[in-house]
Structure 1
Amino acid sequence: MDETFEVVPIARVVGGRVEPTDDYWGGTTSIIRIDADRFSSEATAGLDSFSHLEVVFRFHLTDPTDLHLGARRPRDNPDWPEVGIFGHRNMRRLNWLGVSRCRLLKVDGLDLHVEDLDAVDGTPVLDIKPWFQEMGPRGDQHQAAWTSDMLQLYFAPSTDDPHRHP
């Protein structure tokens, strides 16, 4: 399990939020700007046929000393149970990787205009995939009750966010 490898960003998030927050990502717009030194606009050919993207990125603003490999309460809320590192989806990850599904608004060459991407301005993007419905969950789905409580406002629109899509 000691294999290491190097991952080089293929894009950066431009615009949108400048600080990560727990809630109110709904309607936030930003651009995923693909590296023009390595890619031509052919890299995005056909992408405009898709409504959503799956984006893998690096939590570049996370404090490395804030890593907890054991169990802790989500958002430090005493009403929610202690959950191990793999039961969370937050930025406190060993490899600092995030995954987000967002709406693709427009493809403009190597600029992908997106909505509801919960990554901030300057975030390194490691991979971009179109969302295929067939790759979504199969069978019955279930989750811990506390997640619905915690995420109630996660994608709620923020009226004071200047990057909110009208």
Structure 2
Amino acid sequence: MAGSFTLKPVGIVRCDRSDPIDDDWDAVPTRIELDTAVFDHEALMGLDTFSHAEVIFLFDQVPDEKIVTGARHPRGNTDWPKIGIFAQRGKNRPNRLGATVCEILSVDGTVLHLKGLDAIDGTPVLDIKPVMSGFQPRGVLREPDWAKAIMETYW
């Protein structure tokens, strides 16, 4: 396997939620503040012409002992099947990476205002990408019933 590497955050999440509760993320106004030691307003130029952005972030508050490399029941719910960590989107992932498509509300200099980012205050942001229709799934999207159920109150 390849060796390790270092990533530097491009910014930080700012919001009123400090507890990683799994539901009602659309109710949390969120902004990403870019690292102004590295980026100026030009980094976000043109992003406001897109409706959505994909945000890649780090679940930095997940301790090593909570990392899952095998299978588990999503959210610990034994009514749902036990599945591998790569068949779910939980925060206890081997590299602690999160990825979410969010609605862009506005861009203000080096600050990006979003709706639907499921990250808590202080979360390091590793990358921001515009959502383009050409990168969306081609063909029919398939998912099990438990995956639909888990999302009923998530947003």
* Residue type of the alignment partner of 2:128: I
Give the TM-score, by structure 2 length. Answer: 0.96
Matched, 1:29 2:29: yes
| Over 2 Å off, 4+ runs | none
* AA matched with 1:44: L
Q: Hey, what's the Cα distance between the residues in 2 that align with 1:94 and 1:25?
A: 23
Unaligned residue ranges in structure 1 (runs of 5+): 156-166
For 2:6, give the aligned amino acid: E
**Which residue number corresponds to residue 19 of structure 2?**
19
- Find the counterpart in structure 1 of residue 141 from structure 2: 141
SS in 2 for 1:101: strand
- CA distance, structure 2, for counterparts of residue 72 and residue 48 of structure 1: 39
TM-score by length of structure 1 reads: 0.90
Contact 2:57 / 2:97 at 8 angstroms: preserved in 1? yes
User: In structure 2, the residue corresponding to 1:129 is in which secondary structure?
Assistant: strand
CA separation of 1:16 and 1:135: change in aligned 2, threshold 3 A: farther
Within 5 Å, give how 1:32-111 maps onto structure 2. Answer: 32-111=32-111
Shift in Å, 1:36: 0.6
Q: CA deviation at 1:16?
A: 3.4
Letter in 1 for 2:135: M
Deviation at 1:12, TM superposition (A): 0.2
Q: Count how many residue pairs are aligned between Structure 1 and Structure 2.
A: 155
Superposed CA RMSD: 1.0
| Stretches of structure 2 lacking an aligned partner (at least 5 in a row) | none
3-state secondary structure, aligned to 1:75 = helix
SS where residue 26 of structure 1 aligns? helix
Task: Give the share of equivalent positions with the same residue, in percent.
Answer: 43
Q: What's the secondary structure of 2:105's corresponding residue?
A: strand
